[in-house]
Structure 1
Amino acid sequence: MLVSIGSKNKVKIEAVREAIMRIGLNAEVISVEVSPEVPLQPFGHQTFIGARNRAFKSLKETDSDIGIGIEGGVFSYENRLMAFAVVYAVDRNGLENFSFSTSFTLPTSITSLIFQGKELGEATDIVFSAKGSKENEGAIGYLTKVINRKELYVQPVIAALYPFYNNVD
């Protein structure tokens, strides 16, 4: 079986590999760079659209059996800005499923930069004097010091994939 992911981000690729290993799916993972066709920093529903677009485009541009899209985004709740990710999985027969990660509040220092037009990864790099946080720990890693971005994605990848390996109606 061949599984494609619509991103060249190493954290997303490793999260898919880890999820596939955990569920015992005999699959090779390939990555392809695609445009999610949403703003650089998706808000709310745009995050679902971006993940779905990534999944379908990765399927279309490869010979894979399953396409996966992961899109990080933000949404507002109770006057706080929350970060989260959406994972979409699709196959060539039209089966599709999605899940999303744990969400977490963002501190004012990051929130203010996002409202100034920065993407979460860039805002995280500025606040924590880091480089390439979205390819490594991510905002969640810097904020919690325990959970990294890969870990944040593994469970929703597993949850999005269950219809493809568990044969449940």
Structure 2
Amino acid sequence: MYVGVGSGNPVKRRAVESVLSASDAFDDTTVEAVPVASGVSEQPTGHAETVRGAETRAANVLEAGDFDLAIGIEGGVARFEGCDGLFLVMWAAVDDGQQVGHGSGPSLRLPDDIAERVDAGAELGPVMDDALGESDVARRQGAAGALTAGGLDRQSALAAAVSGALGPFVTDHY
């Protein structure tokens, strides 16, 4: 099977590889990173825009090559009714050209000072780099790792979203 991941970010590719390698349904699978446009803003806001980014990435992967499955992963920020604060959210879409599966990862409340900067128009990745005094946090532990003291890294968080999105492709429950 030939699977394309709609991103050049190695963390997203590793997240997909970890999910696929855990399933017998994906023996003899090749995963390729395919940097494609998301069609959404650099900092998606709200679940709808974040889902649209994941779907667009997956669709663009299918257009880019002869893949059996295309996987788009998008991180964004969103609010939840009944809960204060701005949250990091992540969504995945899996597309085979016939159907699309969706899954979300964990949601993590952003600290107020970081949320204020994102609300003012900054992108979360550079804000996290600045807040942590590091560079390329998004290509390593991610905000998820930083906000949980390593209890949950970005790869594992994204893998949860991918696992959920693969449901219609690996079970008969849909």
Q: Which interval holds the TM-score relative to the shorter structure?
A: over 0.9
2-side partners of 1:167 and 1:60: how far apart?
27
Partner of 2:145: 141
Q: Is the 8 A contact 2:89 2:107 kept in 1?
A: yes
1:120-150 CA-to-partner distances (Å, cap 9, x unmatched) read 1111111111100000101111111121100
Instruction: Report the count of equivalent residues.
Output: 168
Partner of 1:56: 59
Partner of 1:23: 23
2-side partners of 1:80 and 1:168: how far apart?
35
Deviates more, 1:34-43 or 1:153-162: 153-162
Partner of 2:4: 4
Q: What value does the CA root-mean-square deviation take over the aligned residues?
A: 1.1
SS at match of 1:79: strand
| Identity score, percent | 32
Q: Is the 8 A contact 1:55 1:68 kept in 2?
A: yes
Partner of 1:83: 88
2-side partners of 1:84 and 1:58: how far apart?
22
2-side partners of 1:40 and 1:21: how far apart?
30
Q: Structure 2: 5+ residue runs without aligned partners?
A: none
Q: Is the 8 A contact 1:55 1:88 kept in 2?
A: yes
TM-score (norm 2): 0.92
SS at match of 1:111: helix
* Aligned counterpart for 1:43 among listed residues 37, 45, 57: 45
TM-score (norm 1): 0.95
Q: Structure 1: 5+ residue runs without aligned partners?
A: none
2-side partners of 1:4 and 1:79: how far apart?
37
Within the alignment, does 1:107 sit opposite 2:111 as a pair? yes
What is the deviation of 1:79? 3.4
Q: Is the 8 A contact 1:109 1:127 kept in 2?
A: no
Partner of 1:127: 131
2-side partners of 1:165 and 1:107: how far apart?
37
Moved over 6 A (4+): none
2-side partners of 1:62 and 1:30: how far apart?
10
